A = this chain, B = another copy of it.
Amino acid sequence: MNESGRVEAFSDGIFAIAITLLVLQLAVDPHTQVDTAGQAWRALGHIWPAYDAYLVSFLVIGIMWLNHHTVFGYVARVDRGLLVLNLMLLLVVAALPFPTALVSDWLQKPGPAEVSVAVFSGFMVAHALTFQTLWWWLTRTGHLFDKRVDVEAARRTRLRFAAGTVAYPILVGLSFVSPVLTLGLHFALALYYAFNQLPIPLKPGAAADDEGAVAI
């Protein structure tokens, strides 16, 4: 396994665990009275924010993984700086079950709902920042990329990458207008990024990985 492969395996582990731990907040409160089929359905219906939060966070972490995976597909070497920046990014990813649980617990109460979605959006800002710092580090000298990458062109994508960092703070503000709409926008944004990405610029004639594009 090359250096990049080992970092990726560790990162993939954290992505996989964080995305799977989301299920722990999918639970009926053990104090709920459930003795009849009707009460059971109502108890399941009552936790609809948990389903929403699960769907949004699963998709969001999934897309984060896709992007991380795409970028590292073009990384041939790692240095301490990249390892530390990657650790910062993983620190945010691994923490995502926390704001997800907040949304799940608070979405039905107007005031706390706003706070929970604002915190969730704040984590998305933090992720966008760490991902861009990592991209900035990679494109700074470009010597960590494999030969296929057009470093000059990659460096020019920095500004477009920064667009994501503009969108997410707006969603923090929007959380105080409509938490449910904001959550829906996170879902729509993740779905959009699932199919539309900024391709990593390659030298003429270089073959892209099959899914060689990245969204932020």
| Contacts A27-B101, A35-B112, A39-B112 given; does A6 touch B3 at CB 8 Å | no
CB pair A97 B210 closer than 8 Å: no
- Contact of A5 with B by CB under 8 A: yes
> From residue 5 to 58 of chain A, which have CB atoms closer than 8 A to chain B?
5-6, 8-10, 12-24, 26-28, 30, 34-41, 44, 54-55, 58
17 sample A-B contacts, Cβ–Cβ < 8 Å, listed by A number: A3-B209, A9-B12, A13-B15, A14-B16, A19-B94, A23-B94, A23-B98, A26-B95, A34-B109, A40-B111, A40-B115, A58-B94, A62-B87, A62-B90, A84-B194, A84-B195, A87-B194
Of the listed stretches A74-82, A124-132, A181-189, name the one at the interface; the rest are far from the partner chain. Answer: A74-82
CB pair A115 B37 closer than 8 Å: yes
CB pair A54 B95 closer than 8 Å: yes
Chain B proximity mask over A83-107: 1 for CB below 8 Å, otherwise 0: 1100100110011111001100110
- CA–CA, A5 to B2, complex, Å? 11
Main secondary structure of the interface of A (DSSP, over half): helix
- Contact of A59 with B by CB under 8 A: yes
Q: Measuring CB to CB, which residues of chain A are less than 8 angstroms from any residue of chain B?
A: 1, 3, 5-6, 8-10, 12-24, 26-28, 30, 34-41, 44, 54-55, 58-59, 62, 65-66, 69, 73, 77-80, 83-84, 87, 90-91, 94-98, 101-102, 105-106, 109, 111-112, 114-116, 119, 194-195, 197, 209-211, 213
